[in-house]
Structure formats: C-alpha cells, structure tokens
Amino acid sequence: MKLVIAEKPSVAMSLAAVLGANEKKDGYLEGNGYLVSWCVGHLLELAQPEAYKEQYAKWRYADLPILPTAWKYEVPKDKKKQLDLLCRLMKDSRVDSVVCATDAGREGELIFRLVYQYAKCKKPMERLWISSMEDAAIHDGFEHLRPGSSYDTLFDAALCRAGADWLVGINATRLFSVLYGVTLNVGRVMSPTLALLVQREAQIRNFKSKSFYVPEITCGGFTASGERQEEQEKAETIRLSCDGQSATVRSVEKQTKTVQPPRLYDLTTLQRECNRIYGYTAQQTLDYLQSLYEKKLATYPRTDSQYLTEDMQATAASLVLWLRDNLPFGKGCKGEPDIERVTDGSKVTDHHAIIPTVEIARTDLASLPSGERDVLTLIAARLLCATSQAHKFEAVTAFLDCAGYNFLAKGKTVLQDGWKEADRLYRMGLKQKPEEKDNEDAALPELEENQTFSSVAASIREGKTSPPKHYTEDSLLAAMETAGAEDMPEDAERKGLGTPATRAATLEKLVAVGFVERKKKQLLPTEKGVNLITVLPDNIKSPLLTAEWESRLKQVEHGEVSADVFMDGIAEMNRELVKAHTAPEEQFTKLFEAGRKDREAVGTCPRCGASVYEGQKGFFCENRDCAFALWKDNRFFSSKKKSITKTVAAALLKEGRISMSGLYSEKTGRAYDAVVVLDDTGGKYVNFKLEFPQKKGGRK
C-alpha cells in the first residue's frame, strides 16, 4: 500500500478521487491500495533563537551572531494533530512506500521532507511531479513516479533558502534593532527590494524637470517635427522662419516590420499583467491562479518558464481551436495555430508555462469568482495571441526641409493584424481599459521625394522632461526579476531578487511591517522604510549581492554547489556584519528618535528597577545583565488556558497580583476565579501562585 501525502486537503481530495481512495477517515482517505493524506502548509517551522539558548530570548549585541550548528524545528499548535497523524500513517505496517505529492517545487519538497525526517521514516520514497491537476495528468504522474532521491538537491536548496533567510533575518534584525533602539526588520530579499523603492523615490525627489520646445510644421494633412530645443527663443526663431514658407520632401524611407506574438505567461509576467490590467496585487494573482490550479482549470502557477514541452503540442493545438471557437476574442485569430512557436522543452525547467487546461471547455466561466475568471480569461487570451500570426506593418519615415531646417514625420500602415487583433478584441471586453504602452502612429499620405508643400503652418510644441515613475507592482516585479542581471554571468540560470514563487510574499511583508504603503497602484516607501535603508550596509541591501545568492541557490539545486559551502558563505557574511557594526552611526541615530519615544514601557522590573518592554515572545527587562522575563506562553498560565497579555503583565509588575476569572482546572475540567500572584524568587524562571478570595462566613 502506498501512502500519498499532498500539500493541501483540496489537492489530496482530487488525487484520492483519481486513485480510487474513496473511503473517508479522520484526516485521510483510503482505498484501492492507497492512503491519501495531506499537510496544511508547513507542519514544521524553524525554531526561534531561544530554542537554542534561553538567553537568546532577549536581544543583545553580545549574543550575535546566532549561528546554529544543527537546525531545530517547532510544530505550530494548530498543526500538531495532522503531523501526529502523518507520523502514524508512515509507521503503519500496511504502508510499503511513501509518495511525496506536495507542490512540485522547492517549498513543496521542503514541506514533505521535514515531515518524513521528523517521523524518522525509512520507507522508500517516490515523487509525484505534475504541472496540472487534470485527471489525465494525475493518472500519468502516478504511472511515472520518480525516485525521491532524484530531488535530494532540490531539498538541499530549500533547506539553504530557509536557513539563509533565518540567519540574515534573525541576526541583521537584532543587530540593527539593538544598535538603534527600535525594531528594524531586515530580510535577505525584503531589504534589497525595499532599497529599489527607496532609490527610485530619491531619483524622483532629486529630479529637476526642464522645459523643451519642439518646432513643428503642418502640411498636406500631417505634422512633421523638428529638433528639440532647450531654449524657447531658438524654437521661436525656427517657427518664424518656417511659418508660411514651402517645405520639400527630401527622402522617404519605408520598412516592413514584424512584431512577433508575445510569449506565454510565467508567474511573474502574469502577475505584472494582472496588476497593469486589473490592479490585482501579486499575491492576489497568485491566490486566484492557485485556486484555478486546484480546480483543474489552469496549470501549475509557480513557474519561471514561458514555453511548453514537445509532448504537449497536440493537447495545446486542440485547446487553441476550442478557445478560438468559444471565446469572444477568439474570432480575432486567423490561420493555423503556431504551436511550434511556444514549444521548447530545453527552456522548461521544473514546470512549463501557464495555460488553461481542457477542463475550461466543461466549465461555465460566469460561475467562477470574478478574480479567478479574470485571470483564466487573461491566460486564455495569451495562449491565443502567442500561437497566432505575427503582426506586420509598414513603417514610413519622411524627411522634410523647410527654410533650411530639418523636419521628420513618421507613420505606419498595418499590413497584417495578426495576434494584435485578438489582443484588441480581448481589451475591448474589459470594463476598465488599461493604458496603452505605445501610441501607434497614424498612416502618412503617399509621399514622394522632392514633393513640395507651400504655405506650411509652423508652431511650437512645449513639453517638460519627466522624472522616473513611481514603482507599481508591475514595474517592481520586473525590477526584482532583472536586479543585478547586467553584472552577472550570462549563463547564470537564475538572476534577480527572490523567485516567482516568493516575490508576492516579499511585497506583502514589506507592506505588513510598515516599510511600504500602497497608494492606488503605486508602491511607496514609508519614512520608516527609508530610514532603514539609510542605515543598512550594502551587503544587506544590495540587489546585486542578493541576486548572486539566488543564483547560488539554483546551483545547489543542480548539485553544482554543496549546501555546506552555501551556508558557510551566509554564516561568514553574518560574522562580518556583526564585526563591522559595533555601535550606531551617530549621523543616523536621530532618524529613530520618534520610534524610541513611541516605545512604551509596560512596567518596572521587580529585580533591578529598570523598565520592562514587550517583545515578540514576552516582556523583558531592558537591563542586559538582568534575566527577568515574563513569557507570554508561560506554562503556569497555559495550563489554565490563559496567557500573559500586556494588561496582565502591567498589573503583575505594578501590583504584584491580578484577579482573573475563567481559569481552567485540569483536575475537574471546570473554570474558576482566583488571584494570580507574582512569586519571583530571582531564579531562572519567574514563579506564580494562586490566592482565592475569602468566601462569606470566613471560609476560603
């Protein structure tokens, strides 16, 4: 019997239906020689620093860098039941082998392998690797299961990515937070992404707009432009010289140009387009696409390829023909679908490009949630455009002379609409028309060399130089994808910041921690974000250096660089970082004064009299030599189904006691009221005791 472990319950249900495991059990399905169960995302997470040493609960410079020699993991409370079930199923005597059926990528591999290792499972492991949740794809995937060992280096890369993010996040965040007295979240990918935003805003802020003047002449039903002038007087001189004079066509150049159809979508290009057309964030697009994948309507989301494999050609051709006949913009396509254009197996790594599945033919699109319908329609339109004919036009450039000054006119004539007709029809169907990126020139009249126009009308078109535009999610995703690429080797397989699978989460975290804010479609760094980038050194915020690490992760995945070598490099970077920053830089200390003032003390330490502040895991004395701490997840309180909140901590520190109701009794299973007393003896842990209010008649 095979045990199949998926990443989500919904995916497990789909797999079980195809495999014939139809008998529902508590947390899994069974039947036809299979047990099918699931994770719920990550069932095991990297432990916090205090799991290695209790002293790490407090943020101190003396403890940095924190470099675990062996990673520890913790189980989120709400996921322990499912983890225990998977461990039990792996040990089930009926199970001969285990199939990893989590998402076919780096994170999916990590989710499964950590559970497999935690359970100390030694049974043979196989890997399901599919790019579609269609029944046929699932059948084929199970007929061609691959040895789990084939993905060992993928697991290595996943461990390295998680470990590197932990090391940089923990050490750099604590280092700069301790130095400047406020919490400053630092991330391996997050910080250089923020740096891109801060740099762009600085460029906009420092930009000085300049006026320019373009002399123009209008004749024969078209307008020709002269050379741009920085001085209005010079442009006015040209206008006066030309107005009412004759203009002669000196030469006419004609070129037939071809615009090839666009490529299919990978995740990043789809996220960019959805942001530009619909205003969806990168995370929204990924969520909609993930849902479509689980509904068998779209192929695997987290791909960086824009091509299909050769074995998909027949299916893709029949899908294109159906889309042409059944979608309103399909009538814009003519000629045989060019499937060869979008096929190149050598350019497909883990997963092929994103396309609809044939399940679309059996689905009422109107019944889908609007976001999912928008995304599915868009990827269908892209498949039609990508397999259509090229767009062809004749570009005409005319050079004219008037009063000794040169003028130029451009125009174009469409010779073959090609893929742009389907694209035009698709955009016509949108409720809100997106801005066009390029204004197509109108056609020029038929012009001949030495043709003369008399009494031309001369004018001046005034304009101003424009600053760079604020980043949108569209343009920032593009910048993340290419960051540092110009300085990296051409053969580097992965360039840029993060991966298609992680970029959306990076943007969401920047917003969540208050470094970035969304204004309409724009992403703008906050004052807090700007200040952070101001104090961070280049090796933490440099897009190029982070892009180099991303490229190295890909080498680990291919077995070209060992995991140990990669992690040694990250550890050394952290050592050098701590060594180089022993004190705050005076020029930057004022940046965080407001943040320090906002940090309110919860109370006074009963041991040394210093202030106690709230941290992520508890309430800690600010005195580095004092070990006083009130843990939020305290064993005394958790046994009574309570936790130490800020209000509780403040009362305990001020009065030494607090009345609490609804305390749970493990003996009776009932709730009761009592006074919790702080019983601190100065030891390693703070103790508590209960006092009960005296009842009437003198009895307690």
- Joined together, the tokens standing for residue 196 give 């891109």
Strand order in the sheet with 657-664: 657-664, 671-679, 687-691
Q: Report yes or no: 471 and 201 within 8 Å, Cβ to Cβ.
A: no
Is 300 assigned a catalytic role? yes
Tell me which amino acid residue 220 is: G
Q: Report yes or no: 196 and 178 within 8 Å, Cβ to Cβ.
A: no
The secondary element (H helix, E strand) that includes residue 461 is strand 457-464
- Joined together, the tokens standing for residue 441 give 């020139």
- Joined together, the tokens standing for residue 213 give 């003047």
Tell me which amino acid residue 249 is: V
Nearest to 380 by CA among 414, 351, 357, 362: 357
CA distance 688 to 680: 7
Q: What is the CB neighbour count within 10 angstroms for residue 569?
A: 15
Q: Report yes or no: 242 and 403 within 8 Å, Cβ to Cβ.
A: yes
CA distance 524 to 530: 10
CA distance 418 to 31: 51
| Helices (runs of H) and strands (runs of E) counted in the chain | 22, 25
CA distance 20 to 114: 27
The secondary element (H helix, E strand) that includes residue 396 is strand 391-402
CA distance 181 to 467: 36
**Secondary structure (3-state) at 694:** coil
Under 8 Å CB-to-CB from 420, ≥6 apart: which residues? 259, 391
CA distance 136 to 309: 16
- Joined together, the tokens standing for residue 139 give 């059948």
Q: What is the CB neighbour count within 10 angstroms for residue 233?
A: 8
Q: Report yes or no: 275 and 473 within 8 Å, Cβ to Cβ.
A: yes
CA distance 98 to 116: 9
The secondary element (H helix, E strand) that includes residue 10 is helix 9-19
357 burial type by CB count under 10 A (0-12 exposed, 13-18 middle, 19+ buried):
buried
How distant, in Å, are the alpha carbons of 112, 150, 502, 546 from that of 559? 20, 11, 22, 20
CA distance 274 to 282: 8
CA distance 265 to 351: 12
Strand-strand pairing, 671-679 and 687-691:
antiparallel
Q: Report yes or no: 232 and 213 within 8 Å, Cβ to Cβ.
A: yes
Q: Is the preceding peptide bond at 369 cis, omega within 30 degrees of 0?
A: no
Strand order in the sheet with 611-614: 603-604, 611-614, 618-621, 629-631
DSSP per residue over 266-299, as a string? -HHHHHHHHHHHH---HHHHHHHHHHHHHTTSB-
Unique residue bearing structure tokens 């494999």: 309
Nearest to 479 by CA among 288, 161, 284, 199: 199
**Catalytic residue (choose from 28, 180, 288, 300):** 300
Active-site residues, by number, are 300
